[in-house]
Amino acid sequence: GTVDIECDMMVLGAGPGGYSAAFRSADLGMNTVLVERYSTLGGVCLNVGCIPSKALLHIAAVIDEIAAISKHGITFGKPEIDVDQLRDYKEKVINKMTGGLAGMAKMRKVNVVQGVGQFVSPYHIQITAADGTQKTIQFKQAIIAAGSSVVNLPFVKPDPRIVDSTGALELRSVPKRMLVIGGGIIGLEMATVYSTLGARIDVVEMMDGLMQGADRDMVKVWQKFNEKRFDKVMLKTKTVAVEALPEGIKVSFEAAEAGVTAPEPQLYDMVLVAVGRSPNGKKIAADKAGVTVTERGFINVDGQMRTNVPHIFAIGDLVGQPMLAHKAVHEAHVAAEAAAGHKAYFDAKVIPSVAYTDPEVAWVGITEDEAKAKGIKLEKGLFPWAASGRAVANGRDEGFTKLLFDAETHRIVGGGIVGTHAGDMIGEIALAIEMGADAVDIGKTIHPHPTLGESIGMAAEVFEGVCTDLP
Ligand code: FAD
């Protein structure tokens, strides 16, 4: 067939992975085309993920903080919430970011082509625009960054009162009674927003705890602080039926294991399904390019992010867990640099995770629970925020900072922070792990006082007086 566009590099999908890959490819001198089905760049993260959720979480945190300081002699009125204006604010945040990306693409002369891409050969992809017109792009190399989509429960029929994370972020209204199905980070962040805006929330989770992956001692702190947010937290409980009735959404539950009593069916004004995301690998005709896609829709890659087809790379949510924007960005840079012939490899030791709830829960490297389960002996340094002047001054001393060290070398191997701004601080622990720092390196680094970040230095002083650098 005819070829409409020829390029050195074709990037499929313009999420954090795709736009980072396209920008780095262009910076390295490749003539780059970026294909995206939507009219804006930024993918899930900017349009319906990380950024809109944080815009709403910021507002929620301010509302909660104002309520908290009212106990100290400053009284504000009851918040009056104009949902339309709040939605506008969130939209403005998104537009500012996606507009910025469009500008950066232009500046780099990245050719953005709008439409759905389907491979037709190892060197060609066909793009179908919304109006049905088609274009064929011929590329020398490609980076697949098609991301992931929400997982739906098979027994749930569409109804405007039943939403996924995208629907919840639309913020059409604030329900009186809301059920969050799935106690992971995304569900709990949205629960935080909606409960602060006035909804009563129930959470149902199949596993034995919320926020899987985080150490239980941190989750406990978060849960205790949030007791008032939730009417019911149903653990080890399965959602088995969701029925849209005129008077509400009727949800039925079943025990996920023996010994658990599931509650009676409940009526809700809104139900958020947040049960995970699945990769888009099966939706791009990868087989036409010879790229192997796993049963679940993932694409396997090597240390340079190369697929089984050497001139085609894959990055981001599409190549596996954790499905996080910062992982996608780093993989993107590796893929683009490898494509340009550099000796780039993805060799990050650790990837931090953050729940931007209130308080925030952040962790990186090996967790204490994981070490215990695997029988790995570690040393722990824990600094309770009740001893942090700044946390106490902020009226938020419920949290703690903990560091995990190799028992012999005292090198740091993991860490966790629960408390306000935990996500902003976890990067220091990630850096320490990447640099191979030991307890003394961290403990002897002078952190400014009084800051929350100082708690990291304090936690490292568990070995104070023990110098691991000298015999
Ligand atoms: P995506 O962002 O999914 O982008 C893929 C792009 O490819 C999309 O724009 C899609 O339209 C396009 N595309 C797919 N197929 C085609 C095709 N055939 N043709 C053309 N275009 C195509 N991560 C964090 O790190 N921090 C957070 O705080 C955070 N919060 C989140 C909150 C929510 C509610 C959600 C849903 C996710 C959140 N995530 C967060 C996860 C984060 O959004 C993803 O990890 C990230 O977006 C993955 O980037 P990606 O480039 O792999 O893919």
pLDDT tens-digit map of 376-405: 999 999 999 999 999 999 999 999 999 999
So what's the pLDDT on residue 167?
Answer: 98
CA of 257 to the centre of ligand 1 (A): 34
| Ligand 1 center from residue 317 Cα (angstroms) | 7
Q: What pLDDT score was predicted for residue 470?
A: 46
Distance in angstroms (rounded) separating the CA atoms of residues 299 and 296? 9
Q: Is the CB of 165 under 6 A from ligand 1?
A: yes
Kindly state if the Cβ of 10 falls inside 6 Å of ligand 1: no
Compute the average pLDDT of residues 183-199. Answer: 98
Average pLDDT, the chain: 96
Please say if the pLDDT value at position 171 is more than 70: yes
CA of 326, closest atom in ligand 1: 25
- Confirm if 176 and 248 have CB atoms less than 8 A apart: no
464 pLDDT band, cuts 50/70/90, is low
Three-class SS state of 267: strand
Predicted local confidence at residue 465, as pLDDT: 54
- Taking the C-alpha atoms of residue 119 and residue 117, their distance in angstroms, rounded to an integer, is 7
pLDDT digits (tens, 9 = 90+) for 331-346: 999 999 999 999 999 9
Indicate the residue type of 85.
Q
402 ligand 1 Cβ < 6 A: no
Q: Which atom of ligand 1 is nearest to the CA of 35?
A: 20
pLDDT, residue 15, reads: 98
- For the record, the structure tokens of 227 come out as 């007791």
Active site residue 449: yes
Q: Residue 223 above 50 pLDDT?
A: yes
Q: Is the ipTM of this complex over 0.90?
A: yes
Phi, psi of 9 (to 5 degrees): -130, 125
Q: Which residue has the tokens 């403990």?
A: 443
Specify the residue with its C-alpha closest to ligand 1, atom 30.
50
Q: Ligand 1 within 6 A of 143 CB? A: no
**Predicted local confidence at residue 468, as pLDDT:** 47
| C-beta separation of 34 from 113 below 8 A | yes
Using only C-alpha atoms, what is the Rg of the chain?
Answer: 24
User: Which percentage of the chain shows pLDDT scores above 70?
Assistant: 98
User: Best of 44, 188, 278 to mutate for ligand 1, by most ligand atoms within 8 A of CB?
Assistant: 44
Q: pLDDT band for position 463 (50/70/90)?
A: confident
Residue 302 pLDDT more than 80? Answer: yes
As to burial, measured by CB atoms within 10 angstroms (0-12 exposed, 13-18 middle, 19+ buried), residue 439 is buried
Distance between CA atoms of residues 91 and 82, nearest Å: 14
User: pLDDT tens digits for 229-240?
Assistant: 999 999 999 999
* Ligand 1 center from residue 277 Cα (angstroms): 10
37 lines ligand 1 (CB under 6 A): yes
**Mean pLDDT calculated for residue range 178-186:** 98
The pLDDT value recorded for residue 9 is 99
pLDDT higher than threshold 60 for residue 85: yes
Half-sphere exposure of 233 (CA within 13 A, CB side): 17
> How far is it, in rounded angstroms, from Cα 289 to Cα 12?
13
Residue 277 has pLDDT above 70, yes or no: yes
Q: How confident is the model at residue 471 (pLDDT cuts 50, 70, 90)?
A: very low
